[in-house]
Amino acid sequence: MHQIAILGFGTVGSGVAEAISCDQNRIQAALGTEICIKYILDLREFPDHPLGRLVTHDFNDILNDPEVELVAETMGGSHPAYDFSLACLKAGKSVVTSNKEVVASFGPELLEAARQNNVSYLFEASVGGGIPVIRPLINELSVHQVQRISGILNGTTNYILTSMQSHGKDFDSALSEAQKMGYAEANPSADVEGLDAARKIVILAAIAYGRLVSPKDIFCEGITQVKLADLKAAESLGGTIKLIATARQTEQGLLLLVAPHFVPNHSLLSHVEDVFNAVSVRTDVLGEAMFYGAGAGKLPTASAVEADILDIFGGRKANQAALVWERIGRSELTDPDSIRCSWFLSAGEKSCILIDKTREEAVTYGKSIQSGACFRVLD
Ligand code: HSE
């Protein structure tokens, strides 16, 4: 029997317990043994939950128990999640996590600690909720040259934009629905201002390019300025507006960007609705591949945590080369405003698309037609 502990019994942590319980027979068939949850760390009590008796408030119970082989960190936030994860790795316990904040900020240290202690640190659930996208990037696609990654990486904002466009809902009521369904971050400004998507794209870029940049250093615009009128204007020009996160290598350096984009109807990403996420990866050998699925929510995210647990207990080793990340700073990034691209200018009946312009040129033209806003066009 493999014994594990869950750190944090919120939406994702309780989902991990539920997924393991549902899948126990198939886990037994796959591993030849059961997975047993020995502890749940949380500040709260759960007297009415069947696993409430496993709750401890003392992290040392878990750290000092040699029977606990693996810890699922689903706490959220940087501290104490990072400190607990590091302590577990140093104590010879593997760690799996859904915590993008920790991976995006402390990935290099935690991966190094895992390596030194001959255990694993895996984080499939940190990007794209339940979509298996990190595993293919680390393993199957790792020998390819990744030319570009672009995706819809935040379920809350996609839910809001879809509700606004399809149901004419206003921003606040769409956000409060996403919160009720457990999609949004504890502080939803990380969703709507783009920081959550920024954390996720820096993780994908680190796997693809071996270099991790702080999410705070990348160009990041959220959706708070997107108006219903912009969505309607985009529709009239054969597209929609989506919050897109992109990473690609340019001659000037790594280009990382989170911003609302005009997405033409012929792009698959334009059809990704509600809480769904999608990641398009283009490599030299494969061409384009699209990963699509539920980007947030209890069981979808838990399924990705569970997959990491099964990989570790099943003895599947992640490709270590894709898990060596050098930190880089803002000066090594390409300034997105220096790149010429197509722009959608939202201006009611005068809305239009400009081709091959810098942002400055697009904004200048936009002023001449009283454009309310300009958005990059997804290429
Ligand atoms: N708040 C995140 C989202 C949760 O809406 O996508 C999943 O990371």
* Domain end among 68, 87, 122: 122
Task: State the average pLDDT for the chain.
Answer: 97
pLDDT of residue 184: 94
Spatial CB neighbours of 356, under 8 Å, sequence gap ≥ 6: 340, 341, 342
Q: Which helix (H) or strand (E) holds 123?
A: none
Q: Is the pLDDT of residue 372 over 90?
A: no
Candidate of 175, 185, 258 to mutate for ligand 1, largest count of ligand atoms within 8 Å of Cβ: 185
Q: Residue 131: name the closest of 280, 285, 311, 341 by CA.
A: 280
State the distance from the centre of ligand 1 to the C-alpha of 294, rounded, in angstroms: 10
> Ligand 1, closest atom to CA 159?
5
Number of domains in the chain: 2
Ordered DSSP codes for 67-117: TEEEEEE---SSTTHHHHHHHHHHTT-EEEE--HHHHHHHHHHHHHHHHHT
Please, which pLDDT band fits residue 40 given cuts at 50, 70 and 90? very high
> Ligand 1, closest atom to CA 157?
5
- Percentage of the chain exceeding pLDDT 70: 100
CATH number at 170 reads 3.30.360.10
Q: Encoding tokens for residue 313?
A: 């207990």
pLDDT of residue 63: 98
The verdict on the CB of residue 185 being under 6 Å from ligand 1 is yes
Catalytic residue among 38, 93, 100, 200: 200
**Going by CA atoms, what residue is nearest to atom 7 of ligand 1?**
296
CATH number at 8 reads 3.40.50.720
Once rounded to an integer, what is the mean pLDDT over residues 37-51? 98
> Ligand 1, closest atom to CA 184?
1
The verdict on the CB of residue 123 being under 6 Å from ligand 1 is no
Q: What is the tens place of the pLDDT at every residue in 310-343?
A: 999 999 999 999 999 999 999 999 999 989 999 9
200 is catalytic: yes
* Domain end among 57, 91, 122: 122
The verdict on the CB of residue 156 being under 6 Å from ligand 1 is yes
> Ligand 1, closest atom to CA 188?
1
Structural domain contains residue 139? no
Q: Which domain holds residue 197?
A: 145-296+330-335
Structural domain contains residue 306? no
The verdict on the CB of residue 183 being under 6 Å from ligand 1 is yes
Q: What is the tens place of the pLDDT at every residue in 93-127?
A: 999 999 999 999 999 999 999 999 999 999 999 99
